[in-house]
Amino acid sequence: MKHNIAAIITSVLTVFAATTVPFSAAASEKPADYTIKDYTTAESFYNRVVLSKSWQQSDDRIARGEMLQLPQYMLDRMTTDALAEAVLDYPFFCDVYAFDNAQDGFDLMMEHFNGVQELADRDDVASVLLDKYCDEEVLTDASADEDVFRLTNMEILLSQNFVTTKLSKKEKSKYTKTVASKLADKAASPVYGEYTSNLMFELTAENTKDSALQKNMEKVRDGAYVKTPNGTRVSTTQSSSEPFTQSEINDMNRYADSQYPTATRYRSASGKYNCHSYAFYSTSTSNNHWMPNPSAYWNDGSYHETSMISGGRKLEFFSGNSPEHSAIVVSAYGAVTLESKWGPYGVYRHTTRNCPYTYCNILKYYCR
Contact 329, 309 (CB under 8 A): yes
Residues 212 and 169 in one domain: yes
**Per-residue pLDDT at 209:** 65
**Per-residue pLDDT at 213:** 45
Where among 189, 216, 243 does a domain terminate? 216
Give pLDDT tens digits for 33-51. Answer: 556 676 678 888 999 999 9
d(CA 149, CA 1): 4
Residues 286 and 193 in one domain: no
**Per-residue pLDDT at 188:** 81
**Per-residue pLDDT at 23:** 38
Residues 182 and 305 in one domain: no
Q: Rounded mean pLDDT of the chain?
A: 84
Residues 59 and 198 in one domain: yes
118: amino acid identity, one letter: E
The distance of Cα 303 from the centroid of its chain, to the nearest Å, equals 29
User: How many residues make up the chain in this entry?
Assistant: 368
Contact 244, 344 (CB under 8 A): yes
- pLDDT, average across residues 347-356: 96
**Per-residue pLDDT at 338:** 97
Residues 138 and 175 in one domain: yes
d(CA 327, CA 337): 10
d(CA 299, CA 290): 19
**Per-residue pLDDT at 27:** 43
Give pLDDT tens digits for 198-239. Answer: 777 677 767 766 565 445 444 333 457 888 999 898 888 888
Where among 216, 249, 264 does a domain terminate? 216
Weakest mean pLDDT among 3-17, 31-45, 221-235, 245-259: 3-17
User: Which structural domain, as residue segments, surrounds residue 353?
Assistant: 225-367
Q: Residue 162 burial by CB count (10 A; 0-12/13-18/19+): exposed, middle or buried?
A: middle
Overall number of domains in the chain? 2
**Per-residue pLDDT at 183:** 83
